[in-house]
Structure 1
Amino acid sequence: MLNGKPTPAEVGTAVVRIADCDDFEPEEEHDPCPTDPLGNLLHGLLTMLPDLFAAGGFRVTDTTTGTVLVEPGCCNGLETWRDWPDVLDGTGCAHFGHALSSTAERVGDTVRLTHDVDGTDGSPVTELPPDQVRRLVADAQQDLPDFVADAQQDLPDFLGLAGAWAEQHLPAHAAPVTAALARALDLASSA
């Protein structure tokens, strides 16, 4: 759980996991990857601006049939936590990544989950009342250990612990690592 309660080892594991999510071959405009293990691990985290990524997100399952309606795709990350209030109040849309490219959006008096917007017309759609989705989001925040329970408080608390962890374990890189984590979790103004 990304909050203010993990042990230093758990914080380090989360930092490494987020860095690993951003470990891919750089495009032409980025410097080549360093060859030392630490530099290689931190390269994507410190150079992929602003497109940092922390894997995670919602999976929506029909509890009656057990059918998974929507699950996080390859490009869905924890930074999308701010999308859900926007969906529920009708001012935004939540994307679940690629393969399948699912979305959630407010349409009138319903929240529409489209199962694959990149597919052909006629992709399956599930429509739910916003109050039910609000309860589902609240339940997910309480019940799922891998989901941020109260993102507005927990993520900044985690970022503080991660900054302290970086000061101790990565002193030469602490400030840029902390700033990169803030961007990956959509907390850049908190760094």
Structure 2
Amino acid sequence: MIVFRAVVEVPWTPLEARPPWPVTDMPLGSWLTLGPDCRDGDFGLFLAILAAPLDIAPSAAPAEIAAALLAEECLLIPGGIQVHDDSAGQSISPGCCSGLEDWRDWKSLLQGNEPWLGHDPTPEFAFLAGHFRLWQDGGAARATSSCVDIPRADLTAHLAAVHNDLAAFRDAFSTWSHRHVPPGFAADLATAIGTVLAVPRSSSS
């Protein structure tokens, strides 16, 4: 069984400061899955990851962090879609510099175009009869790289599942933000997160 997961990469270096809200402890370089099962600490970790590249004082209060995030013209979410094959026990993860905000680019596979999924490793597709083969690392590295086969007929349903997971995360994040972020920022921050995840509340696809 093939499963698509919306994931965010936990930084490879420790966060400089402990955010002013609960944060799930996860191994450096691991993957946080976004979806309906996320808990308070997961939302805190997600927001800490988004804030990590910004120029924010280690002792910043929730309002300062929210204001800095809202001031960004374009928020980036390190991660993407992770594809897991239960039967083979294989997972293909996004490469470096891949962004979850671009997850809808996967639709372009149906037009014969290959979405960019990062580098080092550089995930790469092969277009085969009736399915897409996704390698964890392309080019000369294919010989030793793991791969997963995704039936072409199932791609739309897999992406719909990602949309549903992100929409559920968006709604739960909105509830979380109203508990942990000052009222003057909570609603706007929740809206911004829905937009950057490509699941604004007006979205129907």
Question: Could you tell me the TM-score, scaled by structure 1's length?
Answer: 0.60
Q: Report how far residue 49 of structure 1 moved.
A: 2.7
The residue aligned with 2:16 is none
Deviates further, 124-133 or 169-178: 124-133
Aligned partner of 1:122 among 134, 140, 148? 140
The residue aligned with 2:167 is 156
Q: Report how far residue 130 of structure 1 moved.
A: 5.5
Deviates further, 42-51 or 14-23: 42-51
The residue aligned with 2:94 is 72
Aligned partner of 2:190 among 162, 172, 178? 178
The residue aligned with 1:103 is 124
Distance in structure 2 (CA, Å) of the matches to 1:180 and 1:129: 34
Q: Return the structure number with greater strand share.
A: 2
Q: Report how far residue 60 of structure 1 moved.
A: 5.8
The residue aligned with 2:177 is 166
CA displacement, residues 120-165 of structure 1 (integer Å, 9 cap, x when unaligned):
x534278887527838x97xx6xxxxxx982333322332232233
Distance in structure 2 (CA, Å) of the matches to 1:188 and 1:172: 20
Question: Could you tell me the TM-score, scaled by structure 2's length?
Answer: 0.57
Q: Is 2:75 the counterpart of 1:51?
A: yes
Q: Which runs of 5+ in 1 are unaligned?
A: 27-31, 142-147
User: Could you say if the C-alpha distance between residues 166 and 25 of structure 1 is closer, same or farther in structure 2, counting changes exceeding 3 Å?
Assistant: closer
The residue aligned with 2:60 is 36
Aligned length: 167
* Contact 2:124-2:137 at 8 Å conserved across structures: yes
The residue aligned with 2:45 is 17
Calculate the aligned-residue CA RMSD, in Å: 4.1
* Contact 2:56-2:65 at 8 Å conserved across structures: no
Q: Which runs of 5+ in 2 are unaligned?
A: 1-32
Q: Report how far residue 53 of structure 1 moved.
A: 0.5
Letter of the structure 2 residue corresponding to residue 22 of structure 1: L
Q: Report how far residue 178 of structure 1 moved.
A: 0.8
* Contact 1:116-1:123 at 8 Å conserved across structures: yes
Letter of the structure 2 residue corresponding to residue 124 of structure 1: R
SS of match in other structure, 1:82: helix
